[in-house]
């Protein structure tokens, strides 16, 4: 007989020799009661949603009907930021009487701020407006007015114009000192008018300080030709039409100043000066100047016949 193999009995297995394949314990399922969940929702609705809803309803009803929130007269409307737009114009735009009481009054909560804002911005001088309710019964209207950039001659009538090409009536005793623009009425669209105004503004930006420092005043600016801005320069009793083109305005003005002493030495009465050509300036004497040829070309430093 072979040797007897010792096979340990199950009870003789040591703890560390137990089978690694243990049975997975089954998870215990915890069931939530539908009744408790429904009860919580019901309690939330009863103690939170319904009270908040009733509170909101009563507050809204109180705000719409309470005399504490009613505009009772034009004095309840405060207008700020206006300089050339009158308070009366703003009140008219709001649809409110100029004086006295407003009858039964107007609730500030029934006052459509957006609709009234658009009505105020319909005034020519108003660029933008902001309406704010000031509790309990005030309406604040903040007006931002348009900024004119020049006078404009339209059909023989002189008005003001801003950079958006909006024509504005000149207020009485307004301290405006601008050149008079001509040629805007020949533009075929608002965009073209704005483009010409942008050209004029760039011209004034470059010459704004330089021209007065040199003793010249820009009196009129012609914008009929968008490729040739023409300015009427005035110094004392001397007036001169200058063609500046559409770029390099300051450089061309310096060329004009460099040429001016030579022109004055020649005792030539000029009708216009054309600065559009590189390395030369074309001068045109006045027609009645005897013996003067029109269209004389000159360099910035000397006059040529």
Task: Give the pLDDT mean for 240-255.
Answer: 95
Gap between the Cα atoms of 294 and 261, Å rounded: 19
| Total number of residues shown for the chain | 305
39, with CB counted inside 10 A (0-12, 13-18, 19+), is exposed
Gap between the Cα atoms of 162 and 179, Å rounded: 13
pLDDT band at 173 (very low <50, low <70, confident <90, very high): confident
pLDDT band at 232 (very low <50, low <70, confident <90, very high): very high
Output the pLDDT for position 154.
85
Output the pLDDT for position 14.
54
Between 35 and 60, residue with greater pLDDT: 35
Residue 29 has pLDDT above 80, yes or no: no
Output the pLDDT for position 257.
93
Highest mean pLDDT among 95-104, 181-190, 287-296: 181-190
Task: Give the pLDDT mean for 274-299.
Answer: 68
Which domains, ranges and CATH numbers included, belong to the chain? 67-145 (3.10.20.310), 148-303 (3.40.50.11690)
At 109-150, the pLDDT tens digits run 777 889 999 999 999 999 999 999 887 878 899 999 999 999
Q: Is the pTM of this model over 0.85?
A: no
Gap between the Cα atoms of 268 and 294, Å rounded: 11
Distances (CA, A) of 194 to 99, 125, 208, 223: 40, 17, 20, 11
Output the pLDDT for position 278.
79
């Amino acid at each position: 007989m072979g040797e007897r193999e010792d096979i340990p009995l199950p009870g003789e297995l040591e703890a560390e020799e137990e089978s690694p394949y243990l049975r997975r314990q089954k998870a215990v399922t915890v069931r939530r009661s539908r009744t408790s969940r429904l009860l919580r929702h019901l309690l939330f609705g009863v103690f939170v949603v319904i009270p908040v809803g009733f509170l909101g309803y009563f507050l809204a009803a109180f705000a719409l009907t309470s005399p504490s929130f009613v505009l009772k007269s034009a004095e309840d409307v405060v207008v700020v930021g206006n300089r050339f737009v009158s308070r009366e114009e703003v009140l008219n735009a709001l649809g409110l009487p100029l004086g006295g009481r407003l009858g039964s009054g107007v609730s500030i909560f029934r006052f459509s701020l957006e609709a009234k804002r658009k009505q105020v911005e319909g005034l020519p001088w108003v660029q933008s407006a902001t309406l704010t309710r000031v509790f309990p019964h005030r309406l604040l209207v903040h007006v931002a007015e348009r900024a004119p950039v020049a006078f404009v001659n339209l059909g023989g009538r002189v008005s003001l114009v801003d950079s958006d090409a909006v024509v504005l009536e000149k207020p009485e005793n307004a301290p405006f000192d601008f050149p008079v623009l001509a040629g805007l009425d020949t533009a075929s669209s608002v965009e073209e008018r704005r483009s010409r105004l942008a050209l004029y503004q760039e011209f004034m930006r470059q010459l704004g300080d330089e021209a007065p420092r040199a003793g010249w005043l820009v009196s009129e600016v012609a914008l009929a030709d968008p490729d040739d801005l023409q300015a009427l320069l005035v110094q004392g009793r001397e007036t001169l039409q200058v063609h500046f083109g559409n770029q390099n305005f300051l450089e061309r003005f310096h060329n004009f100043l460099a040429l001016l002493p030579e022109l004055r030495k020649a005792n030539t009465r000029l009708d216009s000066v054309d600065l559009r050509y590189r390395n030369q300036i074309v001068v045109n004497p006045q027609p009645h100047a005897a013996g003067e040829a029109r269209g004389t070309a000159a360099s910035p430093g000397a006059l040529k016949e």
